[in-house]
């Protein structure tokens, strides 16, 4: 369904989610110009003064990517001939699911994705570690996001 093989990155993503726990982690999966994938962690600024205009959530129950780091990662990928493939974030203690807020943010207030072609990887992280991951891909036929379980490598 996805064509996106996240397995080479899952150990790194799981490690980052564990290190951020009990806060949500966030980051990007970027394709390089040669097609290689890499995970770029981005600081979660939810709950800080810098994020106050974007979210009322804390880092424990939401994420806001540091805008400077986000733009730098996207610019670097584009300049290298690559691009954004997936947005990653974790859900501490509540499971790997695409919440109504996740869906709303992905749609940018509209009816189609704000980032066409970009997938969303949600990681379930608990005190004991990462226990699940799901990838959400826009399906124009059903006008919704399709869910796919991703094997977790820790």
110-154 pLDDT, tens per residue?
999 999 999 999 999 999 999 999 999 999 999 999 999 999 876
> Taking a C-beta distance cutoff of 8 angstroms, is the pair 96, 151 a contact?
no
Domain boundaries, the chain: 7-149
**Which pLDDT score, from 0 to 100, does residue 35 have?**
79
pTM (predicted TM-score): 0.93
Range from 4-8, 20-24, 45-49, 107-111 that averages highest in pLDDT = 20-24
Summary mean pLDDT of the chain: 92
Burial tier of 11 (Cβ tally within 10 Å: 0-12, 13-18, 19+): middle
Closest residue by Cα to residue 1 from 115, 143, 147: 147
- Give how far Cα 101 sits from Cα of 16, 38, 105, 106, 114, Å: 22, 26, 6, 8, 14
| Secondary structure (3-state) at 100 | helix
Neighbours of 12 (CB within 10 A): 14
pLDDT at 2 exceeding the cut of 80 = no
Fold of 7-149: Cytidine Deaminase; domain 2 (3.40.140)
């Amino acid at each position: 369904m996805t064509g996106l093989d996240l397995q080479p990155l899952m150990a790194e993503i799981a490690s980052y989610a564990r290190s951020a726990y009990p806060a949500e982690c966030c980051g990007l999966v970027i394709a390089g110009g040669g097609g290689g994938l890499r995970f770029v962690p981005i600081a979660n600024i939810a709950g800080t003064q810098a994020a106050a205009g974007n979210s009322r959530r804390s880092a424990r129950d939401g994420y806001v990517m540091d805008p400077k780091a986000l733009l730098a990662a996207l610019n670097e990928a584009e300049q290298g001939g690559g691009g954004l493939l997936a947005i990653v974030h974790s859900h501490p203690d509540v499971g790997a699911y695409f919440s109504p807020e996740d869906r709303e943010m992905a749609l940018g207030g509209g009816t189609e994705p704000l980032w066409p072609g970009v997938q969303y990887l949600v990681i379930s992280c608990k005190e004991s570690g990462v226990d699940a991951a799901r990838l959400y891909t826009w399906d124009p036929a059903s006008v919704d996001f399709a869910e796919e379980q991703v094997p977790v490598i820790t």
